[in-house]
Structure formats: structure tokens, C-alpha cells
């Protein structure tokens, strides 16, 4: 029942969550499902909140095989159940091994697809928005508020923040520029990112460029055209702990609406995120936080389309550079010299 704050006494938990999701479960274990390791902003922190609420349980994550290493690196997962499906659809979870999970926890959003997938292992108890006794869904609430309200409704304390990693950052204090994204609709041209990099360098900032899978050439292009040394392009795929440390210890993270933006929110790192087809109102950084979302209102677009969206193209590099430099000045007003601060917003 919603609002039941009695201590959890189940053995296994199963947690799950949507396309690009994180799933974890404990029979005698719970089963939990949450969105991707990077996104949305509350995915990994919510999983760690479940972990703290169930310290003596086995937490198993159902996730695409490619996320196995990252899942273990969260320090919240005891085992991984491989699960994936094409076209960002919810994968079946009928291959759950052993006794039924208890409980199954759906950290997705409000969709019945996640709930139904979690119901397949016949959990002793299913915690989900889409259940008849689940907490009410507020369609216009920020994603972060959804996660907190959902966990609180089931007696799980939630803050949705990530602790500072113990791993050293490969570039402490740097401005991290991440030009990639999973779809072309959310990916600006490397020339525009390079223009911002040049402004940041002219203002005296240390800049590094990161790359996602298959994006090494993109990172090298941005670094090269931005006037950076080759070593400033952190290619080859950083291990999860190093990437988390890089974001947590960065002076600022600049990216599109993609995975790396969300750990910046969870770590409290200053960031500038460029939104295109989807408004940041529901999926962007919480209002009043250090992260800043830039976007241009207009007709909605397909966030998984193949070419850069019209609204994203309307955010000029001068405006992006000005936003980055303004945020950096707030962090250290006496340590930056003049230069790109004069760039006109257009």
C-alpha cells in the first residue's frame, strides 16, 4: 500500500525502468527498473537510494549487456540480468532466474509497459506508478520530483544526489565539453563546439573534450579546431568511475541533451546543456540549480531523428560561450581574465 513506511523485509528486489534503463532486483531479492545510467538525472541516484534502503539485500540490475561494467561501477548493484530490445522498447524479463523477486520496483515513469515487464517474474509485491495502489502520477512535474515522490511514497528516503567519487579525475578543474549525442537531432556540428572551445581557451580556461562510443573522431575534430592539444581529447571511452570523477571535479560541463549532462546535475557540477527538440522543463536540470539549460521554443521534434534539429541550430555559439563564461565567473570571479566574455549572444 502506498505510504507504507514499514522497514523492507524482502530478500530479493528487482528494479527496472524504460528504454536505456537500469534494472535491479533483489528474490528474497527485489527487482528494480530505472532509466539509463546516465539519463534521466535521477537514474543512478535513485538506484543508490534503493540500495541504502535495502543494505542487506541482493540488488540485481536488468540492463543491456553493454552497460554491465557501468552498472557494477555504481556500487549499488550485486548482479546484472542482461535485457535489451530494439527501438528503445521495453525488453521482456521472462528470463528472470530463481524464486520470484520481492519486491519488484519500477523506477521508470508512468508507463504500463515497464509494470507489465516487471510482473512477468511474478513478484510478491510490485511497486510502480502504473499499479492500482501506486502513488499518483503528476504529468507536469519535473522528472527529479517524480523519482523523489515515488520513493518517498514507499517509505524509501531519497535525495537523488551522487557522492563525490574517490577516483582521481583525469582533468581536475577542467571545463568538460561533450559534443556527441545518441541521435543526430541532438548533436550540434563540431565547428560550433570548436568555436565555443576557442572562446573558453581565450578566457584562460583549461578545456578537455570527451567522447561517447564511436565518437572519437568527433572529439578529435572539436579539440583540433578548438586549438587544443591532441591529449585534450579524452578518447577511447573513460571507465565509469573516471568519467564520474571527471564530471564531479569539473569546473563546468558543456553538452547537448545527452547522458553526461545528468551526472553533472547529480554531482552538483555547474553545467550548460543545449536542448533541441524536447523542452528541458520535464527532463532538464531542476530550476534554480547550478546547471543551466539553453533552448529555443518551437514545434516539437523527434529526439531520435538523424539530423540536427532546427531549434538546436538556433542556439548560436556566441550565446553558448556567454552562458558558459557567466557560470564560470560565478564560480571563481577573480581568476578569469577578459577575452571571450565579450562575445555577442546571437
pLDDT (tens digit per residue) in 236-271:
888 878 888 999 999 999 998 777 887 888 788 999
Mean pLDDT of 24-42: 44
What pLDDT is recorded for position 309? 59
pLDDT digits (tens, 9 = 90+) for 315-326: 889 999 999 999
The pLDDT tens digits of the residues spanning 34-45 come to 444 444 344 667
- 94-98, 142-146, 156-160, 226-230: which range is least confident on average? 142-146
Highest mean pLDDT out of 87-91, 206-210, 214-218, 308-312:
206-210
CA dihedral over 226, 167, 83, 134, signed as positive or negative:
negative
- Percent of the chain past pLDDT 70, that is, above it, reads 68
Question: Rounded CA gap, 31 and 153, in Å?
Answer: 17
The pLDDT mean for the chain works out to 75
Question: What is the model's pLDDT at position 342?
Answer: 29
What is the Cα–Cα distance from 101 to 28, expressed in whole angstroms?
6
Q: Are 47 and 74 in contact (CB under 8 A)?
A: yes
Per-residue confidence (pLDDT) for residue 58, from 0 to 100:
85
Whether this prediction's pTM lies above 0.85 is answered by no
Q: Please give the sequence-ordered ranges of beta strands (E in DSSP) within 1-123, or none if there are none.
A: 12-16, 22-24, 29-34, 60-63, 79-82, 104-106
Residue range 219-241: average pLDDT? 92
Give the pLDDT of residue 279.
Answer: 62
Phi, psi (5° rounding) for residue 94?
-75, -10
More confident residue, 304 or 96: 96
- Could you tell me the pLDDT band of residue 26, with boundaries at 50, 70 and 90? very low
How far, in Å, CA of 193 to CA of 175, rounded? Answer: 13
Give the Cβ contact number of residue 249 at 10 Å. 20
First to last CA, the chain: 53
Amino acid at each position: 500500500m502506498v505510504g507504507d513506511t514499514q522497514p523492507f523485509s524482502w530478500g530479493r528486489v528487482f528494479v527496472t525502468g524504460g528504454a536505456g534503463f537500469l534494472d535491479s532486483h533483489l528474490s528474497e531479492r527485489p527487482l528494480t527498473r530505472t532509466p539509463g545510467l546516465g539519463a534521466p538525472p535521477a537514474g543512478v541516484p535513485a538506484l543508490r537510494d534503493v540500495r541504502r534502503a535495502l543494505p542487506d539485500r541482493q540488488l540485481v540490475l536488468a540492463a543491456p549487456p553493454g552497460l554491465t561494467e557501468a552498472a557494477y561501477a555504481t556500487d549499488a548493484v550485486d548482479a546484472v540480468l542482461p535485457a535489451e530490445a530494439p527501438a528503445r522498447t521495453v525488453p521482456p524479463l521472462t528470463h528472470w532466474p530463481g524464486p520470484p523477486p520481492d519486491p519488484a520496483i519500477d523506477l521508470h515513469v508512468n508507463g504500463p509497459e515497464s509494470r507489465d515487464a516487471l510482473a512477468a517474474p511474478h513478484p510478491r509485491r510490485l511497486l510502480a506508478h502504473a499499479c492500482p495502489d501506486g502513488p499518483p502520477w503528476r504529468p507536469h512535474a519535473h522528472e527529479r520530483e517524480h523519482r523523489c515522490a515515488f520513493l518517498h511514497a514507499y517509505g524509501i528516503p531519497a535525495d537523488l544526489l551522487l557522492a563525490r567519487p574517490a577516483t582521481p579525475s583525469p582533468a581536475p578543474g577542467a571545463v568538460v565539453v561533450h559534443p556527441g549525442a545518441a541521435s543526430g537531432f541532438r548533436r550540434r556540428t563540431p565547428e560550433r563546439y570548436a568555436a565555443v572551445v576557442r572562446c573558453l581557451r581565450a578566457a584562460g580556461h583549461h578545456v578537455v573534450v570527451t567522447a561517447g562510443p564511436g565518437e572519437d573522431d568527433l572529439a578529435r575534430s572539436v579539440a583540433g579546431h578548438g586549438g587544443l592539444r591532441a591529449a585534450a581529447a579524452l578518447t577511447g571511452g573513460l571507465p565509469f568511475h573516471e568519467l564520474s570523477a571527471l564530471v564531479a571535479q569539473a569546473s563546468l560541463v558543456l553538452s547537448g541533451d545527452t547522458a553526461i549532462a545528468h551526472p553533472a546535475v547529480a554531482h552538483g557540477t555547474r553545467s550548460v546543456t543545449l536542448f533541441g527538440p524536447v523542452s528541458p522543463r520535464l527532463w532538464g536540470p531542476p530550476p534554480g540549480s547550478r546547471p543551466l539549460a539553453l533552448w529555443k521554443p518551437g514545434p516539437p521534434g523527434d529526439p531520435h531523428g538523424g539530423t540536427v534539429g532546427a531549434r538546436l541550430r538556433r542556439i548560436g555559439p556566441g550565446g553558448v560561450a556567454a552562458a558558459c563564461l557567466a557560470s564560470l565567473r560565478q564560480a571563481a570571479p577573480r581568476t578569469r581574465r577578459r577575452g571571450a566574455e565579450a562575445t555577442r549572444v546571437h
